Amino acid sequence: MNGAATILQVEDVSVSFGANAPRVLDGVSLQLAAGKVLAIVGESGSGKTLLARSIIGLLPPGAMVRSGRIELLGQDLTGLPGAAMRKLRGDQVSMIFQEPQVSLNPVVRIGRQLTEAAIERRVLTPDAARRRALDLLERVKIPDPADVMKRYPHELSGGMCQRVMIAAALMLEPALLIADEPTTALDCAVQRDVLEVMLEAARREDTAVLLISHDLGLVAGHADDVLVLKAGSLVEKRAARDILASPAADYTRELLEAATVARPASPRDVGSNPVCTVDGVTIDYPVRRDWPWQEQRFHRAVDNVSLDIRRGETVAVVGESGSGKTTLGMAILGLVAPTGGTIMVDGEPVSTDPRRTRRFTQLVFQNPYAALSPRKTVRESVAEPLLVDRSADAVSVAARTRAMLDDVGLPAALDDRRPHELSGGQRQRVSIARALITQPGLVIADEPVSALDVTIQAQILGLFARLQASHGFACLFVTHDLGVVEAVADRVVVLKQGRVVESGDTQAVFANPRHAYTRELLTAMPVLQPDTGSGFHIVNRHFGGVSP
Amino acid sequence: MSTYFLKRLLMIVPTLLLVTVTVFVVMRLVPGDPVAMMLGDIDNPELVRQMREELRLDEPIPVQYVDWFRRVITLDFGESIVTGEPVFDTMLSRLGVTAQVVFISVALAAILAIVFGTLAAWRQNRASDLAITMLAVGSMSVPAFWVGIALIIVFGIKLQWLPTVGYVSPLDDLSESLQFMVLPVTALVVAETGALLRMVRSTTLDVLRMDYITAARARGLGERTVLFRHALPNTLIPTVTLVGFALGSLLGGAAVIETVFTLPGLGRLLVESVYARDYVMVQGVMIFVAAIYVIVNLLVDMLYPLLDPRVRLRA
């Protein structure tokens, strides 16, 4: 490790829930030197978070380190008594979590959360702690640090909260910083900023960083080394550059391919008649009033949006949280009434009594676990839309249900399972089958893959494209992820604060974005592309010129 | 923030208005003529007519209501039919007795519940947690009057350590007054702590699972700080609501305990007045008790913004 002092040495560590349970982390070793960044990449269930938590001594109840050594600055942490471990936390090792807004205590001011550990442990005087906190807040690029110190977490955005978390983690100049998916919960435009701010701050203090992520493409560009975990075991550990250029393990290659932007192979058979026309639609939500006699004010969620979707075509609506993309989807479904403009679906206006529209238009949700009834079996959930039509006979319903489940690649053995007995990908397949069983002409897919692991994402997107080819439905694909857009969408509409800032053919927009906001989004997201050989490389997009 | 307070304050107006209408109508729906009941066996039509006129019972009900309501808002609840004393003065003096017992009991119960509930959650599934939880379930299962009677038998009659029944005002003799308080307060604390403690324990368990608790530990804070500076303020938010309910319902409804210990409190006043068919008093006490409940909950609402900064924003 280039002669720099070794900070962390993990040797053959195994973790399990209970003494006789199977090992969820099995014989993992790693080494990290001062000032270096090691990325640990894996999908959910790979044990990456457990590895991190075993280092900082905060394993969830029931989990225990079964064997191996964890050495931090030469001291073995396994079997260290609680009080001794507590002394190391914050001081030698600290941690940043995935959800910044729930990692900060909602009823405690930012300033106290930053300074309390230093003051409690008498490392710094209250004054010195305050100065150090202000200094760190400035370093993580928080405007007006003195003001932020007085605020509560709910008054800050997610990105700001994560910057505060970074500052809090660095307060006592730890030798090791563990960052567990530090940018996953943030809007994409700020993800890269926050990651860079974190690594820059760590570098200045010569702090080693253990960066945990599910996104190999995102972290590979920032880490010195990458360690790939799968189902608790080490798959591959190499220098970041090498792992991209020549991934050795099949699984690493699979991860990289899943993160790669892939165009649909064949151009789709797109009809010329729109199945859905949105014309100048505006949607206002009433803002809560303090008193009934006050003037009612409205929040404009969607502002004069026009678009059309043709038969068999996928139109992506892209935007950050609060951009109005979900509201637009709800309006097309007839669940939200527009304040102005018209929405035509299948040649008829979407009405306040949208029974017909709902049969023509179906919805696939972001979180399949929440969207499926926990009491219903796979078969029952998928058959349900058919049972609305009371004349349907049981035999044909069963046959159609089975055929649909075949289509989404779910074997008959899963028919009687309930959602909690399925994996995330299987659940989303059930969700898709339920949406498609009535043969809808239009499917609204609201972030259908953002809750899934990258390799599963790739599978589900592939399935979606296949089903679209065979069933011929049109699709409004709502997402914040530009990589997904590039993979599935024929055309793209970029929304910002309810307005369309740019729209057009996906390839044209991505190659030559005209609006500054689209450029910002595209620049914020580095792209992983396959080499001519067997490797991959990262492309950072740059766009010259100024928007008209 | 002041909008929040003002809104809560204004919202009690329709509530209290509804209470007065309900109480008034219910009293008129009760079968039997209050005058006939008051006069009992005396069969004198002239006297009946005279009394009805005196009590304005011969007017239409809406007129009676408006007439009565006008006096109620000036806190004039009329005079007791039995004693002739002003209803409001009687209620106030009885409330003093109840409030003394109830405030001490609920405060003690809340402190016990918070301390031991937090401890039980922290030591989840260990011996101390099991012991505390079992005591709490016991406390919830035993009725207050039974505890009261048991206390009287053991400490009052067998051991003769404490006076059992009666009441001495703390203004007359503080130490004697406290001696009379011990047993009723103990009975109420035993009865009220269990439910509160269970609530504190389960809320604390939820809070301890939150990321900000793990994050606080990751910053190297000691367990005491994590528990009392980070977990407790979050646990207090729902706990205060429950304490408010307990306070509100006991201030008007501690009748059973007051009867067991023959304390001249508000709950017992209501029961006595019902038996005495003192409908003016019953009507007054019902309104008074409802108003206390509403006001206690108003005060709890006023506390929220102090406990939870997010409420301040929403208001």
Task: Please report the domains of chain A, with CATH numbers, ordered by start residue.
Answer: 6-259 (3.40.50.300), 274-287+296-513 (3.40.50.300)
Quote the CA–CA distance of A331 and A497 in Å, as a whole number: 16
Residue A144 sits at φ, ψ, to 5 deg, of: 55, 65
Q: Read off the pTM.
A: 0.80
Whether A395 contacts A353, CB under 8 Å: no
The amino acid sitting at A330 is: M
Give me the pLDDT at residue A3, please: 57
The amino acid sitting at A510 is: F
Q: Which of B234, B215, B207 is nearest to A98 (CA)?
A: B215
Domain count of the fold of chain B: 2
**How many C-beta atoms surround the C-beta of residue A204 within 10 A?**
11
Cβ separation B220–A121 shorter than 8 A: yes
Give me the pLDDT at residue A359, please: 76
Sheet of A23-33: strands edge to edge?
A23-33, A6-17, A63-72, A75-76
Q: Are residues B206 and B241 in the same domain?
A: yes
- Degrees to nearest 5, angle at CA A146 with A144 and A150: 115
Mean pLDDT on B290-313: 85
Residue A127 sits at φ, ψ, to 5 deg, of: -65, -45
For the cut 70, the answer to whether the pLDDT of residue B69 exceeds it is: yes
Q: Which two tokens stand for residue A49?
A: 């978070």
Per-residue exposure over A289-316, b if at least 16 CB sit within 10 Å of its own CB, e if not: eeeeeeeeeeeebbbebebbbbbbbbbb
Give me the pLDDT at residue A264, please: 55
Q: Which residue has the tokens 């059973």?
A: B256
Whether B117 contacts B128, CB under 8 Å: no
CATH code (residue B231):
1.10.3720.10
Count CA atoms closer than 13 A to B101's CA, side-chain side. Answer: 35
**A chain contacts of residue B225, beta-carbon cutoff 8 Å:** 116, 120
Mean pLDDT on A318-336: 87
Least confident of A474-483, B225-234, B245-254: B245-254
Give me the pLDDT at residue B205, please: 93
Mean pLDDT on B43-48: 78
Cβ separation B310–A106 shorter than 8 A: yes
- Binning pLDDT at 50, 70 and 90, where does residue B306 land? confident
Question: Minimal Cα distance from A52: which residue of B?
Answer: B218
Within-domain flag for B84: no
- Binning pLDDT at 50, 70 and 90, where does residue A383 land? very high
Quote the CA–CA distance of A185 and A171 in Å, as a whole number: 23
Q: Which of A90, A154, A290 sits opposite B220 (nearest CB)?
A: A90
Q: Are residues B137 and B179 in the same domain?
A: yes
ipTM above 0.90, yes or no: no
Q: Are residues B157 and B266 in the same domain?
A: yes
Average per-residue pLDDT for chain A = 87
Give me the pLDDT at residue A12, please: 92
Q: Which of A116, A154, A291 sits opposite B310 (nearest CB)?
A: A154
Give me the pLDDT at residue A548, please: 41
Cβ separation B220–A116 shorter than 8 A: no
| B70–chain A Cβ distance below 8 A for any pair | no
Quote the CA–CA distance of A361 and B93 in Å, as a whole number: 69
Determine if residue A304 is left, alpha or beta; phi over 0 gives left, psi from -120 to 50 gives alpha, anything else beta: left
**How many C-beta atoms surround the C-beta of residue A353 within 10 A?**
7
Least confident of A486-500, A521-535, B139-153: A521-535
Mean pLDDT on A129-151: 92
Could you tell me what percent of chain B has a pLDDT over 90?
25
For the cut 70, the answer to whether the pLDDT of residue A267 exceeds it is: no
Within-domain flag for B247: yes
For the cut 90, the answer to whether the pLDDT of residue B230 exceeds it is: yes
Within 8 A by CB and 6+ apart from A241, the residues are none
For the cut 60, the answer to whether the pLDDT of residue A88 exceeds it is: yes
Mean pLDDT on B240-248: 90
Average per-residue pLDDT for chain B = 86
Mean pLDDT on B69-88: 85
For the cut 70, the answer to whether the pLDDT of residue A431 exceeds it is: yes
Give me the pLDDT at residue B200, please: 94
For the cut 60, the answer to whether the pLDDT of residue A265 exceeds it is: no
Q: Are residues B110 and B231 in the same domain?
A: yes
Identify residues of A whose CB sits under 8 angstroms from chain B CBs.
56, 58, 86-91, 94-95, 97, 99, 102-108, 113, 116-117, 120-121, 152, 154-155, 165, 168-169, 171-172, 290-291
**B chain contacts of residue A88, beta-carbon cutoff 8 Å:** 220
Mean pLDDT on A19-30: 88
Q: Which residue has the tokens 């306070």?
A: B247
Q: Are residues B206 and B296 in the same domain?
A: yes
For the cut 90, the answer to whether the pLDDT of residue A435 exceeds it is: yes
Within-domain flag for B82: no
Give me the pLDDT at residue B315, please: 46
Q: Which residue segment(s) compose the domain that B155 sits in? A: 99-278+290-314
Mean pLDDT on A93-100: 90
For the cut 90, the answer to whether the pLDDT of residue A224 exceeds it is: yes
- Binning pLDDT at 50, 70 and 90, where does residue B217 land? very high
Q: Are residues B104 and B67 in the same domain?
A: no
Mean pLDDT on A411-421: 90
Within-domain flag for B91: no
Within-domain flag for B205: yes
> A-B interface: how many C-beta pairs under 8 angstroms?
86
Suggest the residue from A77, A99, A107 to mutate for an interface test with chain B (most B CBs closer than 10 A): A107
Within-domain flag for B90: no
For the cut 50, the answer to whether the pLDDT of residue A488 exceeds it is: yes
Q: Which residue has the tokens 């099995």?
A: A26
Q: Are residues B196 and B156 in the same domain?
A: yes
| B215–chain A Cβ distance below 8 A for any pair | yes
Q: Are residues B172 and B248 in the same domain?
A: yes
- Binning pLDDT at 50, 70 and 90, where does residue A547 land? very low
**A chain contacts of residue B2, beta-carbon cutoff 8 Å:** none
Mean pLDDT on A235-243: 88
For the cut 90, the answer to whether the pLDDT of residue A459 exceeds it is: no
Whether A419 contacts A429, CB under 8 Å: no
- Binning pLDDT at 50, 70 and 90, where does residue B280 land? confident
Q: Are residues B133 and B245 in the same domain?
A: yes
Give me the pLDDT at residue A268, please: 63
Give me the pLDDT at residue A20, please: 82
Mean pLDDT on A186-193: 79
For the cut 80, the answer to whether the pLDDT of residue B263 exceeds it is: yes
Q: Which of A441, A296, A423, A298 is nearest to A368 (CA)?
A: A423
Within-domain flag for B141: yes
Q: Which of B103, B190, B200 is nearest to B144 (CA)?
A: B190
Could you tell me what percent of chain A has a pLDDT over 70?
95
Q: Are residues B65 and B174 in the same domain?
A: no
Within-domain flag for B92: no
Least confident of A14-23, A42-51, B29-38: B29-38
For the cut 90, the answer to whether the pLDDT of residue B30 exceeds it is: no
Quote the CA–CA distance of A113 and A149 in Å, as a whole number: 9
Suggest the residue from A105, A173, A181 to mutate for an interface test with chain B (most B CBs closer than 10 A): A105
Mean pLDDT on B136-162: 87
Per-residue exposure over A490-528, b if at least 16 CB sit within 10 Å of its own CB, e if not: bbbbbbbebbbbbbbebeebbeebebebbbebbebbbbb
- Degrees to nearest 5, angle at CA A482 with A480 and A486: 135
Mean pLDDT on B102-115: 94
**B256 vs A134 pLDDT, higher one:** A134
Q: Are residues B171 and B234 in the same domain?
A: yes
Mean pLDDT on A127-156: 91
Suggest the residue from B10, B212, B307 to mutate for an interface test with chain A (most A CBs closer than 10 A): B212
Quote the CA–CA distance of B37 and A62 in Å, as a whole number: 70
Q: Are residues B185 and B238 in the same domain?
A: yes
Q: Which two tokens stand for residue A213?
A: 């992520």
Q: Which two tokens stand for residue A522?
A: 């595209």
| B217–chain A Cβ distance below 8 A for any pair | yes
